[in-house]
Amino acid sequence: MVTRIGIHDSIEALFPPEVLRDRLAAVDPEVVVVDTDGVGGVDALVTFAYDDAFLDSGLEWIHSVQAGIDRFPLDELEARGISLTNSTGTHGDSVGETVAGYMLAFARRLHEFRSRQEREEWAWAEWDAPFTLSGSSLCVVGLGTLGRGIAARADALGMDVTGVKRTPTPVDHVDTVHPSSELHEAIGSAKFVALAVPLTDETEGLIGAEELARMREDAVLVNVARGGVVDQPALVDALRSDALDGAALDVFETEPLPAESPLWGMDDVIVTPHSAAAHREYPDRMAALVRENLRRIDDGESLANGVV
């Protein structure tokens, strides 16, 4: 039974933790904002970060406000009887629109004009650089909630959408779904390649030098998955050698992206600070998930979005 819920102060990276506390004011358990030292005083924890101290704090349930759970030690949590839930299913619209924004920026050269505005330069892009997304091709690697959100918006923009999925069953808004074994074929013919897979042992380093070489020279890589899905040095090499037309990156091997990273200074790269899922309704969505799982706990049901 959950009698006290902690909102971990690491949520500050996304929104003030007090906002989520206030959204949960009507639930029966007491809801408090805690730091890592205070985790021992709560039964359940809503968190952005993970700390090994969580394992020995007497927690019954941890909820991650992100969909990705690669930072959590699943075996250790299971061994201690700590349930883990995540926020999958809540970011398809925001991430989908972010990716649409990246692609529109490259097509209409908006990122280029923004940089010129900062330099007070009045100049067109090269005459043959702008294009429209209608008729352009996109391959979405990973067709879960994020990938389907990306595909739906790309389809609405008139793009030719293909995808890669472990089980190549049909997906709405995707013309052709390839199995994972056809990754090279799938990414090799697309103007845009969008990565939307979780970080697992199978997907770590999924896009390396060989995969980048398979892509078109005018291709743009979009990564809203996890930094570890891409071999970042190999990507830098591909961009420097003009083997790719550009990249839009929301996630990186090291976050925040170090100041010395060459990606900062590349005109053909859009860097965003792991913010693709940002939405002013983020706290409301998290509160809804927590309330639903409190109901399930009371009714003896399995937890929604259960991982462990």
Please confirm, yes or no, whether 166 is among the known catalytic residues: no
pLDDT tens per residue across all 308 residues of the chain: 899 999 999 999 999 999 999 999 999 999 999 999 999 999 999 999 999 999 999 999 999 999 999 999 999 999 999 999 999 999 999 999 999 999 999 999 999 999 999 999 999 999 999 999 999 999 999 999 999 999 999 999 999 999 999 999 999 999 999 999 999 999 999 999 999 999 999 999 999 999 999 999 999 999 999 999 999 999 999 999 999 999 999 999 999 999 999 999 999 999 999 999 999 999 999 999 999 999 999 999 999 999 99
State residue 1's pLDDT score.
87
Q: Residues 109, 111, 178, 274: which is the catalytic one? A: 274
The token duo for 199 is: 């970080």
Q: Residues 8, 226, 279, 285: which is the catalytic one? A: 226
Please confirm, yes or no, whether 173 is among the known catalytic residues: no
Please confirm, yes or no, whether 226 is among the known catalytic residues: yes
State residue 12's pLDDT score.
97
SS (H, E, C) the chain: CCCEEEEEHHHHHCCCHHHHHHHCCCCCCEEEEECHHHHHHCCEEEECCCCHHHHHCCCCEEEECCCCCCCCCHHHHHHCCCEEECCCCCCHHHHHHHHHHHHHHHHHCHHHHHHHHHCCCCCCCCCCCCCCCCCCEEEEECCCHHHHHHHHHHHHCCCEEEEECCCCCCCCCCCEEECHHHHHHHHHCCCEEEECCCCCCCCCCCECHHHHHHCCCCCEEEECCCHHHECHHHHHHHHHCCCCCEEEECCCCCCCCCCCCHHHHCCCEEECCCCCCCCCCHHHHHHHHHHHHHHHHHHCCCCCCECC
pTM: 0.96
Q: Residues 255, 281, 295, 301: which is the catalytic one? A: 255
